Amino acid sequence: MKTFNLKRIVFLLLIALAIIFVCSLFKDQIKNGMQNSFSGVKSFFWNLTTRDSKSCNFNEASYDIKLSRLSLLEEENALLKEIIGISLHEDYVFEIAGVTQKNILEDVIAVNKGEKDGIKEGMPVLTSEKALVGKVFKTYPDYSEILLITSKKSVIDIKIISEGDYAIAKGEDNLKIALDSLEKKSLVKEGDVCITSSLGGHYEEGLLVGKISSITNLASEVFKTGSIEPFFNLNDLDKVLIIKNDK
Amino acid sequence: MISKILKIFLLIFFWFFILLLETSLLNSFNLMLLLVIIINLIEDPESNLGIVSAFLAGILIDFNTTTYEFGIFSLSFVIFSLSVKIILIKFLKIPYVSWLPKI
């Protein structure tokens, strides 16, 4: 027991605390440097895991995207008939970014575009099929961190296309999303597609969120709950679009 | 002393490579945590390799997480490593691997 007496333990802990304190002062610079130096290697490793052929889930997603667009176009048309002269369709300004890594123990991914490319915190991030991935959580000069919609910190107001009902999609980590606050009288069923609603004010309306995979209707609960399967698949995600001109 | 510093530098490169693998290749598998546990269990309890490894792995995880407080992983890994060592020295004698480098 010569190595680990109380004095040595306290000494080791103090050294660890001192290093942590110094590192925390330069955390952002070190993170940016680490990411910038090994961006190429990280992209190489990441691309090894992304699939070349898109999955069946992806094809289903494409179909659902068309369906949601059609539904939105119908709504837009109806509104345009009422309000003449106001253009509802606004083209987005995108920044294409490559995914380099997924953070350990949290649903956060890093992309190779940062403050130097005009990326700001809060910008929505989509797949090339306009399925919502998340939003920019933190920016660094050379890279940004994206909080996935499956993260526990993510709460989104959603609209279910088939019934037009509103609910909340709460991230649960590990790439899962819970459906919450769905009215008891709602006739929503499994397989229905969810899009973002403008109610929350965080996202533009009409971005694809996911498909309802299960619904639970407990008598003890005030609302119906369930789970949503997100449209993006981390294994297919090599490039994302960051909307720069969102509200 | 020089060989000790060299060993620590090699260890930093080793953990950095594991971090690259874990964040880019193994998205849903915590290899770093697993390695820290294994090293601490199989090394000579009198060696410092486990503690240094735990600290390096922890601080690299801290640099690669955003939603957690900075330092939480490095501190908890070091405390875990110290606890394992105290248990292995005082209460539980298990055979250790002799070929692991000592710091």
User: Quick check: B22 contacting A, CB < 8 Å?
Assistant: yes
B58: part of which helix (H) or strand (E)?
helix B49-63
Which residue, among A125, A145, A148, has the nearest Cα to A137 in the 3D structure?
Answer: A145
| Chain A / chain B CB contacts < 8 angstroms | 104
CA distance A125 to A149: 10
> Pick from A42, A147, A151: which is nearest to B23 by CB?
A42
User: Quick check: A157 contacting B, CB < 8 Å?
Assistant: no
Q: Which residues on adjacent β-strands are paired with residue A181? A: none
Q: How far is CA A200 from the centre of its chain?
A: 15
CA distance A161 to A187: 12
pLDDT at A136 over 90: yes
- State the pLDDT confidence band at A85, using cuts at 50, 70 and 90: very low
Q: Which residues on adjacent β-strands are paired with residue A170? A: A155, A178
Which residue, among A173, A126, A127, A120, has the nearest Cα to A144 in the 3D structure?
Answer: A120
Q: Using the beta-carbon criterion (under 8 Å), do B27 and A102 form an inter-chain contact?
A: yes
Q: What is the pLDDT of residues B23-78, one digit of tens each?
A: 887 766 788 899 999 999 888 878 888 899 999 999 999 998 888 889 999 999 99
Give the CA count within 13 Å in the CB-facing half-sphere of A199. Answer: 14
Domain ranges of chain B: 2-91
The secondary structure of residue A235, as a DSSP letter, is G
Tokens of A86: 């106001």
What percent helix, strand, coil does chain B show, rounded to 5?
70, 0, 30
End-to-end Cα spacing for chain A: 63
What ipTM did this prediction achieve?
Answer: 0.81
Q: What is the pLDDT of residues A114-135, one digit of tens each?
A: 898 889 998 999 887 778 899 9
> Pick from B22, B32, B67: which is nearest to A106 by CB?
B67
Q: What is the pLDDT of residues A39-80, one digit of tens each?
A: 777 777 777 776 554 444 555 556 666 666 676 676 666 655
Q: Which residues on adjacent β-strands are paired with residue A108? A: A147
- Is the pLDDT higher at B101 or at A98? A98
CA distance A145 to A66: 29
